[in-house]
Structure 1
Amino acid sequence: MSLLERFMDLPLEEVIGDRFGRYSKYIIQDRALPDARDGLKPVQRRILYAMFQEGNTAEKPYRKSAKTVGNVIGNYHPHGDSSVYEAMVRMSQDWKVRNVLIQMHGNNGSVDGDPAAAMRYTEARLSSIASELLRDIEKNTVEFAPNFDDTIEEPVVLPARYPNLLVNGSTGISAGYATDIPPHHLGEVIDAVTMQIENPDVSLDELMTVIKGPDFPTGGIVQGKEGIRKAFETGKGRVIVRAKTEIEEIKGGRQQIRITEIPYEINKANLVKRIDELRLDKKVEGIAEVRDETDRTGMRIVIELKKEAHAEGVLAYLFKNTDLQVSYNYNMVAIHNKTPKLMGLKHIISAYIEHQKEVVTKRSQYDLNKANERQHVVEGLIKAISILDEVIRIIRGSKDKRDAKNNLIQQYDFTEAQSEAIVTLQLYRLTNTDVTTLEKEAKELEKKIAHLTGILNSEKKLFNVIKKEMAEIKKKYADERRTVIEDEIEEIKINMEVMIPSEDVMVTVTKDGYSKRSSLRSYSASNGEAPGMKDTDRLLLAEQLNTTDTLLMFTNKGNYIYMPVYELHEARWKDMGQHLANMVGFDRDEQLIKIMPIKEFTDDQYLIFFTRQGMAKKTELSSYKAQRYNKMLMAMKVKGEDEVVDVQLTTGNDDIFIATHYGYGLWFDENEINVVGQRAAGVKGINLKDGDFVVSGKSLKNKEKASLVLITHRGAIKKMRITEFDKSTRAKRGLVMLRELKSNPHRVVDVELSENDAALDVKTKNGSIVTVETGKLKNADRYNNGSYLVDISDSGEVVEVWRKIVTEENKE
């Protein structure tokens, strides 16, 4: 055969598909998912079986873990030693497994996430309850299959004399499937199995009278009976797991929070570190110190509070923002009939009962066969002793053992098995007492055979055996329930006013997105210097606010950031602060356009949004109070290439003024815009000419007395009273604000409200900035093109205008 003929021409996707399919089947069936019958993954089953075979059981001394690992990978599990040892360690960790299957001497890790010592340092043996999983395995109770090199056989499943899948739970991720089954209480699970054996049509509600819900080795409190019921019914469901806490008084009139149990699978060290970080970052006020006082007597985390702290408020905040409370999602997937299945409680119990029927049937058949064999032999021995002299004569007259056996078979009709027992009988057994013993044994064998035959012929008797043996296991191993089950999920309400100390701070936010809060002391120490920021950046807000206030930061894309002042990065006045991208998602091409400090989200205040293409939207301010704000939120729906140019806070009875680039201004009543939802797009605010766009939208509180300042790209600035305009209605073109010029007409860059002490910063193309005090400007009419207060001959046209943020440095 030529070299070329050894290659197959196959499409790559077929080859990869085939190989991945085989790999997936292996991962699902033979690695990551537990068997519904014994609740074990293959590696766990192999470890337990290898230890059992070596006699490494609970009543014998511990053996080096490395010996077991070597035995497992040499005989049953042809994978890395670390995967075997890690599985072995997990089965010994009493904070992960409800009833440990392996007892380990030495460091087997900790609830703080510390790793176990290497396998050469630790010793292990099977726990007493693990032996119940393997009991009767030698009686042909389960199917065996060849190991990876066909040298010995290993069990496909263990006899599992108690429902281990529910008792110890399981977790795993395979190809296309994942499983999360929490541990449950041994006694409750056995009671539920017994109930289902007695009544196969038992309802889920009846089962839930005995099996209340998960019972984690770490205790804690589980909330949400509805979630447990859904999980038991469908295999999927969500419950809340929270730590067991206590508020206690200590000397000096102070309080402390004591945590004695934490949620399942939570790393205690990380939890303590996270709580301490909240204290250091001042995310929550009132925590004086966090200590981990856990010792050999039990878990104890102490959160010491300051004298004025509100303990319930602090605890509610910690439940919401740390792993003191987590959600646990049931996903009960197990291998049943060689297929991964999402199984409810009744389904899992049915699979277990079917397995036990098979195990007890096979065991009874094995014991019956042995009893029948022994009965046959005992009958032969009794008959032999009754004719002892003849038997001895025949044996003495025979040439050898085989000849003696043949002679006994021929002359007295003994069978092969009986004659073998007779010729191997020891002389001391020929005493009178031994005949009595044999007769007694014969009677016991008769009873045993009748009992075993009864089990095999009656399903009721078989089920009674299963129930009786499970009851014995329950009596021997069941302990007190550790997890408390509560019917309802408690809603956590955090009163931030209680949590956050009311403190006045200086807050700055810049156009580029840098924000900070500084203490008034740091601000005063700066001697009126401008806050720290880049040369090319500018302030959007520099104001004294309270830590209980909230900032709403609006962007040109119709999004907003909800930022409580206390969550802003604390920095010195001279520092730049932290970029908002570190706190929320922030696109590079998105720009902040308006920062609004809010003391209270009331229903009698509204936000009005103005877009470049003339849309206006009005929504209640209270709609923008966010519960979750770790990302950018939608403020209004912006269509196509449109963008938000201005946002105004109104009372609901203000007037509205919209100004356009071509110099049109429209004045109308705020009530013309209907109130819509937070995510709506709004209505047409002004009717634009082709090529025109909105540059500014303002709310007028003083209505008839308001003055407007208009700035054009040619550096012309003019001030005019609102009464220069006729009040109109929404969606009109508006009135001109400038005299039209045939060549180089003025184009409006911005229109701002004039206030007596207000000043505007006007920026030109080359970056130079001119400050204009609006209080000193004289009023002009609509057809006046204003005064050229900004020289653009060298610096280029005006590109941007903003209200000057006054700090001590530029008050003069």
Structure 2
Amino acid sequence: MPEAEKYLDLPLEEVIGDRFGRYSKYIIQERALPDARDGLKPVQRRILYAMLKDNNTADKPFRKSAKTVGNVIGNYHPHGDSSVYEALVRMSQAWKIRHGLVEMHGNNGSIDGDPPAAMRYTEARISALAQEMLQDIGKGTVEFIPNFDDTAEEPVVLPAHFPSLLVNGSTGISSGYATDIPPHNLGEVIDAAIQLLDHPDSPLETLLSFIKGPDFPGGGTIQGVKNLKQAYETGKGKIVLRGTANIETLRGGREQIVISEIPYEVVKANLVKRIDEIRFDKKIDGIAEVRDDTDRSGLQVVVELKKEADAQSILNYLYKNTDLQVTYNFNMVAIAEKAPQLLGLKSLLSAYIDHQKEVVINRSRYELDQATKRQHIVEGLMKAISVLDELISLIRQSNDKGDAKQNITQAFGFTEAQAEAIVNLQLYRLTNTDIETLENEAESLEQTIQHLNEILNSPKKLVQTIKKGLKSIKKTYADERRTRIEDEIEELKIDLQVMIPSEEVFVTVSRDGYVKRTSTRSYSASNDERPGMKDTDDLQFFQEMNTTETLLVFTSHGHYVYIPVHQLPDIRWKDNGQHIGNLVSLDQDDHIVRAIPIRSFSEEQYLIFFTKNGIAKRSLLKDYQAQRSSRALIAVKLKEKDTLIDVVLTDGTHDIFFATKQGYGLRFAETDVNVVGLRTAGVKGIALKDGDEVVSAFTASQEEEGYLYSVSQRGAVKKMKWDQFPKSSRSKRGLTMLRELKKNPHVLVDITKATTQDVLMLQTEDEVIHAISGKDIRNYDRYQTGSYVLDTDTHGAVKHMWRYVDHETTE
């Protein structure tokens, strides 16, 4: 029998936790996050080292990118070729990296998001600045480790003779960590590093006098110096980054917006498409054409405006609603001391300086060792020339090279290394001039050894050496700052009244919550047909409005939705509208109770709210002018188990009328309800008996002549004169409107204001809607039952009544 299978009986959570922990550590340390010392991720470091080993340097011809990718995969980075090539390409893209580390011939992508050509078509080589990162790598400056298959060695970190992490920035997402380090100006970063070298205790404020802020390759403007300081102090923060746009006046008085710089990491093609969508959808009025005129001379996107358009407001709208202005989030996470850390500006510079000190010390030790060995050889050669005749004679008498070395060592006291150099000496070196060369070399070596010892033994000399190298790189490679910095974040003022295309439209809101706006042309072509909606649905609101106006939609949970008319979905008259739940997020059991058109919020008007539990609240209309329409806002604070049943707009001179389920009606002046703020609850409007609730509430002018139509669940409808309800004061029970019956009593379902010319719609439990003409209903007093207009035995009890909204009035 075969040997029994061996296995470990371990809890699943322990196995998964252990394996994911290993995976996370690998992703964090070996793939996604840069090293704080050289600013490179492992794949970037391996690409540069592989190109150096292949002699693919800035002073040599370009080589096929495929060759570099193959070398990297075969020797150092056993992953997909596409990921290696993408990393290679990114290091060459001038719009993504402040100072390119790779030079590339061929299509390496574009700022429009176009992909690069395949690696078999493009050619690449290390840039001159990248060679500064690799300089002295063969002088023992950094640690090397075996590669993945132990056939070669690779560096753990590059010498990096400039602060690459801050200069070029980095972005990446790993397991549990992400990093976003913006690029900076090379000259500013080097100045700050020199300051920290000279004064290690320099505060952040001093460093910020050198580093003004990020310097993005695409330019733009940063706003918010206060936020910058916080980001540099903690490593986390956000700034506003705005593209550069100017308003130009054309011949004839028309204006155009010319965009010459866009924010970092924004895809230009997407930005142009978004601006053109705003023009096409008529989100704002005034944009005539959007054109991308970018060419070899530079980036240029032109937004041509219509005559009389408000250019500044349109530009502010583009800043606010497109990626022409973005928020950049600092998250400066890097690998420091073999672990991911959130680092501030000073910590990042300190990590680089500590690394440079180690690199220069290791290089000095290596060069000192080489110089000492050479000095020893030179001393031997000089001594050999002084006894040249005897030396030649002794070598000629020797049997072979080994015998010659042994003979001259015994005769003249040369060391093994000196003897080796002597026997390998070429004959032309035995001239008189060569002794002078050796003497000069010996003198030079003495000075070099002295200099290297000073670096190793004097911290001051070490700092001077690092500073000298940094200044040299700054002089050779630094350029002017491209990104401007402004102290404050500009408040974007947008005059929507000017920019919104003024157009008369028909706005409808259905009882089930479907909203839309319809052009006058589509409405005129309908021949007075019923608008598109479900058979069981009906209009709650219908009115001709202007696109510059606003619709306030109130819901039963006490919320309201602020909808500028131009933002309503533009849908044909015969098609169903869009449910309001698609525009804003509402609770599942929430529904619309009222839609109110608003021409202007500046007028002295009031909103009065009525709830099922008899609460009345009066607030100023202007308090409900919202800045955003992306979510439902609180209109009235409701107590538990209370719901909003209606909202009305008044001028402050009306009377309020409450009607309850048990048939009580109360009328009082709206001034009895004090004006309160937005997030308040209101006051008691009517005193309710136990088990009673408000079924309807509305306002009417104090001199209004009209009728109240009421309906009970048994289908009894009656018409009452408004003056049957004398004015009282709030918080009373009111007057009864139903005759008391012991058997099958009437319950008030609804009551509404209407004229004899109106049509009343009654909905029964079988969901059938019945139309009743107002002129067919007789007058009754408060105590009478009314006329039975429906067979409730057939259709079920009446659920609701409303006044029909025709195409010229609202409910």
Determine the C-alpha separation between the residues in 2 that align with 1:6 and 1:576.
67
- What SS does the corresponding residue of 1:375 show, helix, strand or coil? helix
Distance apart, 1:567 and its partner CA: 1.0
Say if 2:273 is the partner of 1:273. Answer: yes
Which amino acid is the alignment partner of residue 769 of structure 1?
Answer: I
Q: Counterpart in 1 of 2:18?
A: 18
Three-state SS of the structure 1 residue aligned to 2:138 is helix
- 1:512 alignment counterpart: 512
**1:487-539: CA deviations, max 9, x gaps?**
11111111111111322221112223332222223323333333222322211
Letter in 1 for 2:700: L
Deviation track 1:543-593 (CA, whole Å, cap 9, x = no partner) reads 111111101111222222211001112233333333333322245533222
Q: Name the amino acid aligned to 1:504.
A: E
Partner of 2:490: 490
Match in the other structure for 2:128: 128
User: Is 1:96 equivalent to 2:76 in the alignment?
Assistant: no
Corresponding residue for residue 260 of structure 1: 260
Q: Confirm or deny: 8 A CA contact 2:288 2:304 kept in the other structure.
A: yes
Kindly provide the CA deviation profile for residues 372-401 of structure 1, in whole angstroms up to 9, marking residues without a partner as x.
111111111011001101111111111111
Deviation at 1:809, TM superposition (A): 12
Q: Distance in 2 between matches of 1:731 and 1:432?
A: 124
Deviation at 1:228, TM superposition (A): 0.9
The equivalences for 1:405-484 within 5 A come to 405-484=405-484
Deviations 1:47-102 (A, max 9, x none): 11111111111111111111111111111112111111111111111110010111
The alignment partner of 1:794 has SS state of helix
Letter paired with 1:365: R
Structure 1 residue 138 corresponds to structure 2 residue 138: yes
C-alpha distance in 2, partners of 1:642/1:149?
72
How big is the shift at 1:125? 0.8
Which has the higher mean CA deviation after the structures are superposed, 577-586 or 94-103? 577-586
Aligned with 2:794: secondary structure?
coil
Within 5 Å, give how 1:352-371 maps onto structure 2. 352-371=352-371
Instruction: Quote the residue 1:667 is aligned against.
Output: 667
Q: Greater CA deviation, 565-574 or 756-765?
A: 756-765
Tell me if the contact between 1:529 and 1:808 (Cα under 8 Å) persists in the aligned partners: no
Q: Does 1:619 align with 2:619?
A: yes
Question: What is aligned with 1:43?
Answer: 43
After superposing the two structures, state which structure 1 stretch, 730-739 or 349-358, moved more: 730-739
Of stretches 501-510 and 104-113 in structure 1, the one that deviates more from structure 2 is 501-510
Whether contact under 8 Å (1:528, 1:809) holds in the other structure is no
Q: 1:472 and 1:619, CA in 2 relative to 1: closer, same or farther beyond 3 A?
A: same
Which consecutive residues of structure 1, in runs of 5 or more, have no partner in the other structure? none
CA distance in 2, matches of 1:706, 1:431: 130
3-state DSSP class of the match of 1:138?
Answer: coil
Residue in 2 aligned with 1:766? 766
Q: SS state of the match for residue 795, structure 2?
A: coil
Match of 2:388 in 1: 388
Q: Distance in 2 between matches of 1:548 and 1:4?
A: 82
Match of 1:278, as an amino acid? I
The residue that corresponds to 1:577 in the other structure is 577
SS state at 2:385 partner: helix
Name the counterpart of 1:8. 8
Which range moves more in the overlay, 514-523 or 655-664? 514-523
Counterpart Cα distance in 1 of 2:13 and 2:602:
60
C-alpha deviations, 1:256-283, integer Å up to 9, x for none? 1111111110111111111111111110
Deviates more, 1:711-720 or 1:314-323: 711-720
Which AA in structure 2 matches 1:527? N
Give 1:375's aligned residue. 375
Letter of the aligned partner of 2:472 in structure 1?
A: E
Alpha carbons of structure 1 residues 704 and 284: separation in structure 2 relative to 1, 3 Å: closer
Task: Report the Cα distance in structure 2 between the residues aligned to 1:654 and 1:205, rounded to whole angstroms.
Answer: 63
**Percent identical across equivalent pairs?**
62
Q: Secondary structure at the match of 2:43?
A: helix
Match of 2:702 in 1: 702
Task: After TM superposition, give the deviation of residue 706 of structure 1 in Å.
Answer: 6.3
Match of 1:781 in 2: 781
Q: How does 1:670-681 map to 2 (within 5 A)?
A: 670-681=670-681
The residue identity in structure 2 corresponding to 1:699 is: T
Is 1:162–1:190's contact at 8 Å kept on the other side of the alignment? yes
Aligned partner letter, 1:254: R
Task: Give the residue type in structure 2 aligned to 1:601.
Answer: F
1:590-635 superposed Cα distances (whole Å, 9 cap, x missing partner): 3222111111224733322222233333333223222121223332
Matches within 5 A, 1:501-580: 501-580=501-580
Contact 2:515-2:577 within 8 A present in 1 as well: yes
> Alpha-carbon deviation of 1:413?
1.2
Q: Which piece of structure 1 moves more, 752-761 or 335-344?
A: 752-761
Q: How does 1:54-133 map to 2 (within 5 A)?
A: 54-133=54-133
- Greater mean deviation of Cα atoms: 202-211 or 301-310: 202-211
1:354-378 Cα distance to aligned partner (Å, 9 max, x none) = 1111011111111111111111111
Instruction: Kindly provide the amino acid, as one letter, of the partner of residue 389 in structure 2.
Output: D
CA 1:13–1:3 in structure 2 vs 1: closer, same or farther (change >3 Å)?
Answer: farther
For the Cα contact (< 8 Å) 1:655–1:703, is it kept in 2?
no
Rounded to whole Å, the distance in 1 between the matches of 2:703 and 2:715 is: 28
Tell me how far 1:674 sits from its aligned partner: 4.2
Three-state SS of the structure 1 residue aligned to 2:714 is coil
Worse overlay, 576-585 or 100-109: 576-585
Distance 1:2 1:757 in 2: 98
Aligned partner of 1:397 in structure 2 is 397
Task: Tell me by how many angstroms 1:203 deviates.
Answer: 2.0
State whether residues 608 and 619 of structure 1, in contact with CA within 8 Å, keep that contact through their aligned partners in structure 2. Answer: yes
Supply the distance in 2 between the matched residues of 1:353 and 1:449 (Cα, whole angstroms): 24
Distance in 2 between residues matched to 1:402 and 1:810, nearest whole Å: 116
Q: Take 1:717 and 1:345, find their aligned partners in 2: how far apart are those partners? A: 78
More moved, 243-252 vs 351-360: 243-252
Q: Which moved more, 1:16-25 or 1:2-11?
A: 2-11
- Pairwise CA distance, 1:432: 0.8
In the TM superposition, residue 328 of structure 1 has moved relative to its aligned partner by 0.4
Cα separation, 2, equivalents of 1:620 and 1:764: 37
Q: CA deviation at 1:742?
A: 1.1
Answer whether contact 2:777 2:787 (CA < 8 A) is retained: no
- Asked if residue 631 in structure 1 is aligned to residue 645 in structure 2, the reply is no
CA distance in 2, matches of 1:161, 1:232: 23
Query: Residues 243 and 259 of structure 1 are in contact (CA less than 8 Å); yes or no, is this contact kept in structure 2?
Result: yes
Instruction: Tell me the equivalent position of 1:717.
Output: 717
Task: Return the alpha-carbon distance in structure 2 between the equivalents of residues 607 and 12 of structure 1.
Answer: 61
C-alpha deviation, 1:461, in angstroms: 1.0
Name the amino acid aligned to 1:714: R
Deviations 1:376-434 (A, max 9, x none): 11111011001101111111111111111111211111111111111100000111111
Query: How far 1:682 sits from its partner (Å)?
Result: 3.8
Alpha-carbon separation, structure 1, partners of 2:470 and 2:347: 19
Cα displacement (A) at 1:658: 1.7
Match of 1:654 in 2: 654
In structure 1, C-alpha distance between the alignment counterparts of 2:671 and 2:45, rounded to whole Å: 74
Structure 2: which 5+ runs fail to align?
A: none
1:178-327 to structure 2, matched below 5 A, reads 178-327=178-327
Shift of 1:701: 2.8
Is the contact between residue 604 and residue 620 of structure 1 (CA under 8 Å) also seen in structure 2? yes
Distance across 2 between alignment mates of 1:603 and 1:206: 54
Deviates more, 1:718-727 or 1:469-478: 718-727
- Distance in 1 between the 2:619 and 2:39 partners? 56
| Superposition deviation, residue 729 in structure 1 | 4.1
Task: State the Cα distance separating 1:160 from its structure 2 match.
Answer: 0.6
2: CA distance, partners of 1:650 / 1:269? 49
Q: Once the 2 structures are TM-superposed, how far is the Cα of residue 705 of structure 1 from its aligned partner?
A: 5.3
TM-score by length of 2: 0.96
Give the conservation status (yes or no) of the 8 Å contact 2:543–2:808: no
CA apart distance, 1:728: 4.1
Equivalent in the alignment of 1:336: 336
For the 8 Å contact 1:654–1:703, the answer to whether it is kept is: no
